[in-house]
Amino acid sequence: METTSPPAEGGSNESEMNMSVSPADPRTDRRPLRLWPGVIVAAIIVFVKFALPLVMPDASSLGVIAGLACTVAIIVWWAFFSRAPWPERLGAVALMAVAVAVTRPFLHESIVGGMMGMMFVVYAVPAVLGIAFVAWAVLTRGLSDRTRRVSMVATILLACGGWTLARTDGISSDGAQLAWRWTPTPEERLLAQANDEPKALPPAVPPEPLKESPTAKPDVLPAAAAVSASLAKPVEAGPPAASPTRVLPDPVAAATAPEWPGFSGSRRDGVVPGVRINADWSSAAPVKLWQRPIGPGWSSFAVHGDLLYTQEQRGDEETVACYRVSTGEPVWRHRDPVRFWESNAGPGPRATPTLSNGRVYAFGATGILNALDARTGAPVWSRNVATDLSRSVPDWGFASSPLVIDDLVIVAASGTLTAYDLATGKPRWVGPRQLGSYSSPHRTTIDGVTQILLLSGTGVASVAPANGTLLWDHQWAGGSTMVQPAVTADGDILINAIAMTGGAGTRRLAVAHAADKWTVEERWTSNGLKPYFNDFVVHGGHAFGFDGNILSCIDLTDGKRKWKGGRYGNGQLVLLPEQDTLLVLSADGELALVSATTDQYKELARVPGIEGKTWNHPALVGDVLLVRNGEQMAAFRLAPERTVTR
C-alpha cells in the first residue's frame, strides 16, 4: 500500500502560501477618491453660470461672484479632502497657477482687457478650468497613476490654452461676446466693402461764419484751470468730405430748427410730444424703409429734414457722418485720424452729434470736438478737449454729447464741464472738477434760473452757463454715472448713482433759490429703479425706466415701485406722452411698445428690429424711427394712430 509522506517542512504549503500572495500594489491600500464634493461644486458653477441667468437676467454679477467662490472651493476640496496622492494634490494646484500665468501673454487683447482685466479669470477659471478639472477627476478615477497624471496635465493646459484661440467683441447682457480670433469683425467686413464712400459734392459756398460773441474771452482759459497753451489748432479733417450724387434742393437753413437736435431729443429727456402711432402692430407693424451697415460706435442720431447725423469708427479714422433719412445713402463723412477701443464696449465714439444754427458739433471718444457745416461737413473749427484740460482719455472714452446754449457749446470731460465759443471754438470757461462721469450736460431752469446739471461719481453739480460758476451741488458718491438727470413736473431733480454691479438707485432732490442762496433737500432715495446706462423718462407723476435688465415704474411721490416686468436687456426707450406709451429698443435690437401706465406692466407689441448688441438710443422724428448699433442702422415707418369715426 502506497503511503504519502507528509510534506517536508518548508515544502509545498509554503509554496501554496507564496502563490496566494501577489506582489504589493500600492493602489490597493489607497482609499478611493472622494469625488462628491467636487461634483457638487462643479454642478453649482454650471447652474449659476448658465442656468440661473435664463430665469434671473439680473443675476449675472451673482454668477461671477459665485463662480469665483466655487473655484476656490474646488481647489480646497482637491488639496485637502479629495484623498488624492499628495503629489497630485499639490501638483495640480501649482500647474493651474502656472497655466493661467503662462497663457495670459498669448491671449487676444480683448480677452486680456475684458471686464476690467478680469475676463480670463472670470470665464476661464470657473467655467472651464474648474469644471474640466472635476470632469477629469471623475473620468480617470480608475486609471493608472501615470495615465491620470498625464491626462491631468493635458486637461489643465488645454482648458487654459484654448482661450488663446478666442477674442471677445464686447460684453452684452448675456455675457462676453466670444468669437474665434481669426474671424473678421463686423467693422472689418464693412471696410472690405466696395462703393461705400459718398461721392464728391459740387462746390458750395462756404458757410457764413457766426459772429463771435462780444463777451468772448481771449484764447485762454480761466487761471483756475490747468490747460494747454496750444489752443485753437488747425483742423485735421483727413480726406476731403464727400456726398452722394444728389444734394438737397435747398441748403440746410440755420433758421429752421432741427426736428431731433441731438442726444435723446430736444430736451434730452426722451420725450416725443405730438406723435401718435398705431399700437396694433399685429395689423400695422413698423415698415423697414432701409437698412445698411455702419461703423462701430454708441452714438445716437441728430436729424434735420432729410439728413441724419451720427458718429462711427472706420478703421483708424473716427468719423462724423451724414446720411439721408429717406434712403440711408451717405452724404458726407468727416474724418479724424484717431481710434478709440476698449474691450467691453468695443471701438468707436460714444457721444451723439448736436445740431445748431446749420452746424454739427461732435465730441469724439479721444477728446476731439469738431464744429462742421451741417450740409457739407466742411470743418469750421476743432479742439482737443483732452489736451485743453490736460486730461487722459477715460476707460470708456469721452462720452458727453455737446450742449449748445446761447453762444456756447459745452461738453463734459471726465466729470468736468468746459465751454467753447460757438463761433470760433475759443475756450470760454472750465467748471469745477468732479469725479468721473460719462453723462452729458443737461440744461434746466430752477426758480427762474437757467443752469447746467452734470451727474458724476461725486453726485450732481449745477453751474451757471455764462461762466461755469458752481451754483449748488449734492453729494452721492458712487461710480461713474452715465445717464441724464430728469426733472419732475413741480421742478424737483431726479438723479441716480451706480455701483460696481450696476445701478444703485434713484434719488429725488428739492432744489430752491432764495436770498441768493441755494438749498438742496433729499426727499427720498429708492432702489425700485436702478438705471445703469439706460436713461429713464418721467410721465404722469411716475418714472419709467430700466431696473437692471427689466423695466420698472416708480411713484415720484415716495419712490415706491409700482411694477416691474419685461426683459429687454440693457435697452433704451422713448416716451410717447399723448398715448401713455413707451417705445422700447431692446439690447437685442427688438422694437416693443409698453404701456406707460401705473397699474401693471403691459407689453402692447414686440417685433424684430435689427440684429446685434444694441445700446444706442433710438430717435423718433414724425413717423420715422431711426435705430442703430455698432454694426448696422435702419429706418422704420410707423403707421399713424387710427382715427375712430362715428
- CA 234/CA 553 separation, integer angstroms: 49
Question: Residue 244 has what pLDDT?
Answer: 35
Given a cut of 70, whether residue 21 has pLDDT beyond it is no
pLDDT digits (tens, 9 = 90+) for 149-173: 999 999 999 999 999 999 999 888 7
Given a cut of 60, whether residue 252 has pLDDT beyond it is no
Instruction: Dig out the grid coordinates for 116 from the structure.
Output: 476690467
Q: Which residues contact 360 (CB under 8 A, 6 or more apart)?
A: 302, 309, 320, 322, 353, 354, 370, 371, 372, 373, 374, 377
Burial class (CB in 10 A: 0-12, 13-18, 19+), 129: buried
H or E stretch at 346: strand 346-347
* Mean pLDDT to the nearest integer, 386-403: 94
Residue 68 banded pLDDT, cuts 50, 70, 90:
confident
pLDDT digits (tens, 9 = 90+) for 98-144: 999 999 999 999 999 888 888 888 888 887 778 999 999 999 988 99
Instruction: Dig out the grid coordinates for 303 from the structure.
Output: 436729424
Q: Considering the entire predicted model, what is its pTM?
A: 0.85
> Residue 569 is which amino acid?
G
pLDDT digits (tens, 9 = 90+) for 594-642: 999 999 999 999 999 999 999 999 999 999 999 999 999 999 999 998 7
Give residue limits of the domains in the chain. 27-168, 287-637
* Mean pLDDT to the nearest integer, 557-584: 95
> Selecting from 2.130.10.10, 3.30.230.70, 2.60.120.10, 3.40.190.10, what CATH number does the domain 287-637 have?
2.130.10.10
